[in-house]
Amino acid sequence: MNAPVDKGHNAPCSNRDFDFFYRGLEREELLAQKCDGCGTLRTLPTPACGHCHSLNWSEAKLSGDAALFSYVVHHHPPLPGFPAPHPIVVADLAEGERMVGAMDGTDPASLRIGMPLKVEFLRRGDVAAFRFRPA
Ligand SMILES: [Zn+2]
């Protein structure tokens, strides 16, 4: 029998591209991949850079400052740990990339495209997570 791997987080999925992101959330840090070849940030972790195809990358800490680019309001099906309805947003990060995230705890009727957002860290059960809040 194989010993469990200490991946440093309790997120429900684990792989070599995403583990750093969840370990960052455990420290209340929002991280992205930064290509060692060309410096491009990747907020959706991938094995290779889409610009220069380098496989080498480093962790980059993001500010958590953003602006609301777009959103949908999730009604159904129920998601464990999330009240319904709750907004799911695409945020323009201060660093120039976009990121998808939850915005539960905020009234969907109060959302305005372009409004300033800030990342907030929280726990969903035993899993470290983040969500966007009005800044
Ligand atoms: Zn690159």
Distance, in Å, from the CA atom of 94 to the CA atom of 9, rounded to the nearest integer, reads 26
In a domain, 14, yes or no: no
Decide if 12 is inside a domain.
no
Task: Report CA(63)–ligand 1 centroid distance (Å).
Answer: 21
In Å, what is the CA distance from 9 to each residue of 84, 110, 122?
27, 33, 14
Concatenating the DSSP letter of every residue in 73-105 gives: EE-SS--TT--SSEEEEEEEETTS-EEEEE-TT
CA of 99 to the centre of ligand 1 (A): 19
- Looking only at the bridges linking them, the beta strands covering 116-124 and 65-74 are antiparallel
Q: Is residue 63 part of a domain?
A: yes
CA of 37 to the centre of ligand 1 (A): 5
Kindly state whether residue 109 falls inside one of the protein's structural domains: yes
Residue 127, domain member (yes or no): yes
Distance 12 CA to ligand 1 centre (A): 29
Report yes or no on 89 lying in a domain: yes
What local confidence, expressed as pLDDT, does residue 130 receive? 96
Residue-range definition of the domain harbouring residue 25: 19-134
pLDDT for residue 15: 83
**Distance between Cα 54 and ligand 1 center (Å):** 5
Q: pTM of the prediction?
A: 0.88
| Per-run averaged pLDDT (10 residues), the chain, 135 residues | 64 83 95 97 94 97 98 92 92 96 95 98 91 98
Residue 9 belongs to some domain of the structure: no
Q: What was the pLDDT predicted at 4?
A: 57
- Gap from CA of 39 to ligand 1 centroid (Å): 6
pLDDT of residue 5: 62
Count of domains for the chain: 1
62 DSSP 8-state letter: -
Q: What is residue 10's predicted lDDT score, i.e. its pLDDT?
A: 75
Residue 88 lies in a domain: yes
